[in-house]
Amino acid sequence: MMNISQKIVSVRGKQIGGEQPCICTPVVGASMEQILLETEEICRKGPDIIEWRADFFKDICDTQKVLETALAIRKIAGEIPILFTVRSEKEGGNPIPLTETKKIQLLIEVCKSQVVDMIDYELLYEKELVSLRQVSKEYGIRMIMSYHNFSFTPQKEEIVQKMLKAESYGADIAKVAVMPTSPQDLLVLFHATQEARSQLSIPLITMSMGGLGVITRLAGWMFGSAVTFAVGQNSSAPGQIPIEDLKDAIRIVQKYMLSS
Ligand SMILES: O=C1C[C@@](O)(C(=O)O)C[C@@H](O)[C@@H]1O
Give CATH for domain 19-250. Answer: 3.20.20.70
Please choose from 22, 27, 118, 148 the residue to mutate so as to test ligand 1's pocket, defined by most ligand atoms within 8 A of CB: 148
Residue type, 131: S
C-alpha to C-alpha distances, 159 to 16, 100, 221, 230, 232, nearest whole angstrom: 21, 24, 17, 22, 28
Rounded Cα distance, 137 and 3, in Å: 27
d(C-alpha 153, C-alpha 256), whole Å: 31
For position 5, what pLDDT does the model report? Answer: 78
| The pLDDT of residue 2 is above 70 | no
pLDDT of residue 52: 98
pTM: 0.97
Q: Using an 8 Å Cβ cutoff, are 234 and 242 in contact?
A: no
Atom 8, ligand 1: residue with shortest CA distance: 229
Domain ranges of the chain: 19-250
Using the predicted structure, report yes or no on whether residue 162 has a pLDDT greater than 80.
Answer: yes
When pLDDT is averaged across residues 87-107 and rounded to a whole number, the result is: 95
- Distance between CA atoms of residues 25 and 215, nearest Å: 17
Pairing, β 118-122 against β 22-27: unpaired
Pocket lining: 217 vs ligand 1, CB cutoff 6 Å: no
Residue 6's pLDDT band, with cuts at 50, 70 and 90, is: confident
Sorted by sequence, the CB contacts under 8 Å of residue 246 that are 6+ apart come out as 23, 217, 218, 228, 230
3-state secondary structure of 56: helix
ipTM of the complex: 0.97
% the chain with pLDDT above 90: 96
> Ligand 1 pocket check: which of 25, 50, 229 to mutate, most ligand atoms within 8 Å of Cβ?
229
Structure confidence at residue 1 (pLDDT): 46
**Is residue 74 in contact with ligand 1, taking CB distance under 6 Å?**
no
Is 87 among the annotated ligand-binding positions? yes
* Beta strands 118-122; 142-149: pairing state: parallel
Average pLDDT of the chain, as a whole number: 96
Predicted pLDDT at 3: 55
- In the predicted model, is pLDDT for residue 4 greater than 80? no
Confidence check: pLDDT of 226 > 80: yes
Is it the case that residue 246 has pLDDT exceeding 60?
yes
